[in-house]
Structure 1
């Protein structure tokens, strides 16, 4: 494929990117704009961040969105279809981690003790991670499928996590949420391909995002391994997501692509 064609992969497409205020979501929204999208709706709970992203990109429109709110997700997708008549691409990158659990793990490592998190994990922490990561993915998938079925076409890419496979000690709720995201996405993929809609997942390993920046140093050091690649950039993971969203991945349906720099295979 020539460079000129590559840069127009999303010519005239209408796209929605969640979690677009930072990290992978922001990188993906920017690249969609560069590659010819007619409109990129960049959605994030952090309104200031997503407005800053949109300020420098004429085809990007910022939307404040909490993916854990099903009515808000439905309204955001309906607005896109009402304004543009269709929705071609959805990249769902919104998600949360648990800084408190990470700190408990880090403290245990500093003390040379095994982490003890599960018996100290509160209901609120469990529900927050599940509500955003798993429920939010369901809300986005459901709304996207409703928008795409009438057109008989569409591409949906979900950002999962390698943590669903290489479950970190002391991080059960995050791992469970992302495993659920993978299974949910694959189940939906098998259903909606009959309607011309492709659903696929990227499962990143350590990536330089705002979430990673808040990770305690001892945990970051634990991910350092001279035998594998260092932390990925958001743009590197974004490239994989956009490949899955492009026509070049037409035969990929329900795939979960590991993007962890060689830390493990599944």
Structure 2
């Protein structure tokens, strides 16, 4: 479960209670494993109940929760369950999110054909709302639930997962870029409010990362993302390490930060 890096930080989250969304795969699963390896009791949440149950089974004392973050009632029930079982939450990492494979295929088709990308005029309301509902509304639901639990205790740390695409927007991917830019602004606004109550909110903004989303990215786009002069695609564990840093006492003076983790593809 752990590795040399985890062993070097063993006990960093001893006695902490952590809730991780999107923990059934990718970055969320890596975060859940890192927390457990460093001593936290983990509540692992994901819309895919079977996947998150499998991850939780690996981790000592972990709890699996089936949660659609787009549904505020489900989010509230998950947080209520954690508080019922352990009485509190110390850290929350919100990694749940979705992409749009259909739009990616349209973009890749244009790239391969050497023609301009044309997506926005073809983008349906359902596709737009799905991405915004999960990525942006879901972040609001999780932040709201976290503050309801943490503010009365005057302590806690929340980490949201944004995206480098909010800074370097991809032509033909307006809904994803908008949703992640919204995550950044929402998290920063909440951070300014929450710190008065001892709760820190920060964001990690990954670039290309080897997750299920990346696996669905057409080869033409993957090649563009992996161009020369930058590190290869990040591993989920590399992004998880940044999330855990933001959640830890080592980041005590970071509030409302958006840490760009894109391997040097661009700077802001």
* Fold match by TM threshold 0.5: yes
The residue matched to 2:209 in structure 1 has which SS?
coil
Aligned residue in 1 for 2:115:
113
State the alpha-carbon separation in 2 of the partners of residues 28 and 224 from structure 1: 24
**Does residue 130 in structure 1 map to residue 132 in structure 2?**
yes
Distance 1:252 1:202 in 2: 12
Q: How far does residue 5 in structure 1 lie from its aligned partner after superposition?
A: 6.9
Cα deviation, residue 81, structure 1: 0.9
Q: Which residue of 2 aligns with 1:9?
A: 12
TM-score normalised by structure 1 residue count: 0.97
CA separation of 1:128/1:3 partners in 2, compared to 1, >3 Å: closer, same or farther?
Answer: closer
1: CA distance, partners of 2:16 / 2:81: 16
Query: What is aligned with 1:98?
Result: 100
Which secondary structure does the structure 1 equivalent of 2:20 belong to?
Answer: strand
Q: Does 1:207 align with 2:209?
A: yes
Q: Secondary structure at the match of 1:199?
A: strand
Deviation by residue 1:53-98 (Cα, 9 ceiling, x = unmatched): 1112122111110000001101110111111111000000000000
Give distance in 1, aligned partners of 2:99 and 2:8. Answer: 37
2:76 match: 74
> How far apart, CA to CA, are the structure 2 residues paired with 1:3 and 1:114?
46
1:162 equivalent to 2:164? Answer yes
Q: TM-score, normalised by structure 2?
A: 0.97
Distance of 1:104 and 1:250 partners within structure 2: 43
The equivalences for 1:171-190 within 5 A come to 171-190=173-192
5 Å-filtered alignment, 1:226-265, equals 226-265=228-267
Q: Which runs of 5+ in 1 are unaligned?
A: none
Of stretches 194-203 and 73-82 in structure 1, the one that deviates more from structure 2 is 73-82
Is the alpha carbon distance of 1:4 and 1:25 closer, same or farther for their aligned partners in structure 2, counting shifts above 3 Å?
closer
Residues 201-236 of structure 1: per-residue CA shift (max 9 Å, x gap)? 000000000010010011001112221101000000
Q: Alignment partner for residue 226 of structure 2, among 213, 224, 227?
A: 224
Q: Give 4+ residue runs of structure 1 displaced > 3 Å after superposition.
A: 2-5
The one of 120, 136, 139 aligned to 2:141 = 139
Distance 2:77 2:51 in 1: 21
Give the Å deviation of 1:6: 2.1
Deviation of 1:119 after TM superposition, in Å, equals: 0.4
Unaligned runs of 5+ in 2: none
